[in-house]
């Protein structure tokens, strides 16, 4: 990994210091005696597998969990972070992974951007629409967001996950914090948005801001961070500075030696089309596409936000009607009017937005796993707890879900472990077609490989796995066949051993269109061997 930070500088002084910080939930010790300093003028990466304690540490620092022990100092003075308001007043701003929690529905984008001004004590009663809009424009300029006045007037509840994430981040920066905590801030951003964010973060770091940055994307850490803290099992396992030894970092994260580079997988070629898409437009302005999803292989559909991959998945899964054209499933006409019809036909979807569409808050892990399969778990309308527990236990064991048990609330799990539950729920039913839309968002490298192995096992057993992602490396790592979507159009359709990474990237950027032989997904003669990149 390359691209070291220019003008690298160490932290000038500690903004926040932690001494023996610990958090317990009942008898379960989640964080244990964390000693660390977060310094001004420094970007510190916080690394760890799902369930290592990252979210718990962030909640303590942001005032969202006052039930911590130990000492927190801000500028050398002992403080008590009892509420999020306490943290903000002390100069600690947090952008949580669950961005939906930071959006107030019913208020406009502009009002959400300047929310603190509208709160009691912020002059809210005297802030008119014109003043709100003027203040919002200032915030928009901070991140150079392409949002005009019309966009600022929309109800914020209508925002997609990418724009919602940018909104919450821009609002956090408006408070001019001393410490900015970012939990997976790029998980829903496009490549240009990520680069724009990095420019802003480097500028803020050079101005003296302390930044705590959480990401499972090692390339981002290598590009951005000055320092890395590694948590494992609630303890601080490593405190490292650049240049990073990624083998050591990964070993401390996972507790075992693990190669960064995966061994090449054998590319499988599907035997027959299980789903055929004919003449279906993915976007209002795009031309119709034809596409086959074949049993026995993992199809990777690569596209940036707005490319049409989510629209394609939702159409096949019965969550969105096709504007025109036809679908076939197993050679027969297929037009599901509701996801339930698709599920009964063996077509399942892991949605892009886990929080809004994937889990049932307040329900147990077991209930979340079995809710789509109540007919099996409830013969004659009576829920058989044994069947429910057995199915949930298989999911927890196969994907290594970190939980106190299948009866624990889904809310108590980290974001990555919630994702494992959602993915495991649908794969546990042995579907004919499994569509996974951005399944690795907020998921660590170990969980990513576990989910990927489970998807490939489904294909090996004769099913069809479809991975939809905006991440080139995720697609190259797992897919037998790669389809690139740009603006609703198929720019590449090829088996992975027939194309190099350069062509995949060029197609994604829209700088080239693969020739007819590649688009037909036929292997090229004397093709280059498959390119495997570091995780």
Question: What pLDDT does residue 511 have?
Answer: 55
Measured distance between the N- and C-terminal CA atoms of the chain, rounded to whole angstroms: 10
The interaxial angle of helices 445-460 and 246-254, nearest 10 deg, is: 80
The span from the CA of 471 to the CA of 474, in Å, is 5
Interval 286-328: pLDDT, tens: 999 999 999 999 999 998 777 899 999 999 999 999 999 999 9
- The structure tokens listed for 394 are 């298989």
Question: What pLDDT does residue 281 have?
Answer: 95
- Evaluate if pTM is beyond 0.85: no
CA distances to 1, 125, 197 from 200, rounded to whole Å, are 22, 32, 5
Question: What pLDDT does residue 115 have?
Answer: 84
Low-confidence stretches of the chain (pLDDT < 50) are 1-10, 122-126, 514-535
Domain assignments of the chain as residue spans, ordered by start: 14-99+174-254, 104-158, 262-346+431-535, 359-430
Q: At a CB cut-off of 8 Å and minimum separation 6, what does 386 contact?
A: none
CB count within 10 Å of CB 467 equals 28
Question: What pLDDT does residue 321 have?
Answer: 93
The span from the CA of 114 to the CA of 456, in Å, is 46
Q: At a CB cut-off of 8 Å and minimum separation 6, what does 250 contact?
A: 258, 260, 445
Interval 371-404: pLDDT, tens: 877 667 666 666 677 778 888 898 888 888 888 8
CA distances to 89, 165, 169 from 95, rounded to whole Å, are 15, 8, 6
Question: What pLDDT does residue 535 have?
Answer: 32
Interval 405-438: pLDDT, tens: 899 999 888 877 888 898 888 888 789 999 999 8
The span from the CA of 36 to the CA of 80, in Å, is 17
Q: Could you check whether 14-99+174-254 and 262-346+431-535 share the same CATH topology?
A: yes
CATH no. of 14-99+174-254: 3.40.50.300
What architecture (CATH level 2) is domain 262-346+431-535?
3-Layer(aba) Sandwich (3.40)
The span from the CA of 363 to the CA of 369, in Å, is 10
With beta carbons less than 8 A apart as the criterion, state whether 156 and 164 touch. yes
Closest CA to 294 of 429, 432, 427: 432
Closest CA to 396 of 369, 426, 415, 374: 369
């Amino acid at each position: 990994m390359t691209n070291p930070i220019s003008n690298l500088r160490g932290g000038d002084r500690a903004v926040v210091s932690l001494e023996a910080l610990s958090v317990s939930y009942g008898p379960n010790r989640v964080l244990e005696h964390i000693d660390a300093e977060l310094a001004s003028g420094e970007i510190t990466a916080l690394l760890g597998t799902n369930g290592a304690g990252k979210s718990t540490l962030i909640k303590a620092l942001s005032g969202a969990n006052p039930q911590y022990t130990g000492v927190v100092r801000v500028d050398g003075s002992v403080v008590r972070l009892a509420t999020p308001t306490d943290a903000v007043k002390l100069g600690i701003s947090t952008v949580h992974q669950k961005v939906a929690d930071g959006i107030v529905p019913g208020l406009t984008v502009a009002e959400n951007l300047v929310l603190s001004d509208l709160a009691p004590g912020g002059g809210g009663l005297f802030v008119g629409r014109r003043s709100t809009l003027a203040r919002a424009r200032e915030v928009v300029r901070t991140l150079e967001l392409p949002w005009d006045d019309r966009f600022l007037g929309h109800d914020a509840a209508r925002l997609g996950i990418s724009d919602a994430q940018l909104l919450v981040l821009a609002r956090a920066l408006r408070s001019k914090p001393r410490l900015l905590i970012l939990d997976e801030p790029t998980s829903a951003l496009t490549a240009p948005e990520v680069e724009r964010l990095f420019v802003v973060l480097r500028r803020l770091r050079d101005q003296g801001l302390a930044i705590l940055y959480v990401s499972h994307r090692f390339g981002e850490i290598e590009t951005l961070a000055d320092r890395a803290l590694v948590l494992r099992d609630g303890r601080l396992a490593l405190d490292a500075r650049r240049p990073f030894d990624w083998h050591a970092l990964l070993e401390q994260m996972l507790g075992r030696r693990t190669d960064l580079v995966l061994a090449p997988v054998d590319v499988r070629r599907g035997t027959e089309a299980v789903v055929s898409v004919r003449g279906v437009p993915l976007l209002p302005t795009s031309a119709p596409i034809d596409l086959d999803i074949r049993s026995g292989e993992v199809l990777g559909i690569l596209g940036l936000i707005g490319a049409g991959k989510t629209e394609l998945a939702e159409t096949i899964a019965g969550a969105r009607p096709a504007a025109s054209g036809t679908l076939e499933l197993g050679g027969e006409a297929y037009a599901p009017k509701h996801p339930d019809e698709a599920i009964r036909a063996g077509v399942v979807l892991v949605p892009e937005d886990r929080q809004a569409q994937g889990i049932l808050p307040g329900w147990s892990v077991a209930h979340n796993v079995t809710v789509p399969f109540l007919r099996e778990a409830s013969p004659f309308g009576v829920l058989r707890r044994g069947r429910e527990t057995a199915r949930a236990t298989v999911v927890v064991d196969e994907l290594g879900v970190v939980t106190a048990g299948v009866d624990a609330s889904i809310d108590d799990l980290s974001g990555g472990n919630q994702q494992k539950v959602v993915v495991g729920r649908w794969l546990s039913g042995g579907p004919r077609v499994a569509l996974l839309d951005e399944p690795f968002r907020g998921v660590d490298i170990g969980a990513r490989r576990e989910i990927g192995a489970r998807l490939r096992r489904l294909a090996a057993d004769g099913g069809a796995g479809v991975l939809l992602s905006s991440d080139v490396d995720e697609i190259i790592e797992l897919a037998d066949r790669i389809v690139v979507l740009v603006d609703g159009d198929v720019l590449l359709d090829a088996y992975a051993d027939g194309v190099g990474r350069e062509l995949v990237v060029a197609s994604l950027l829209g700088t080239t269109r693969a020739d007819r032989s590649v688009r037909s997904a036929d292997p090229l003669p004397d093709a280059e061997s498959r390119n495997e990149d570091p995780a």
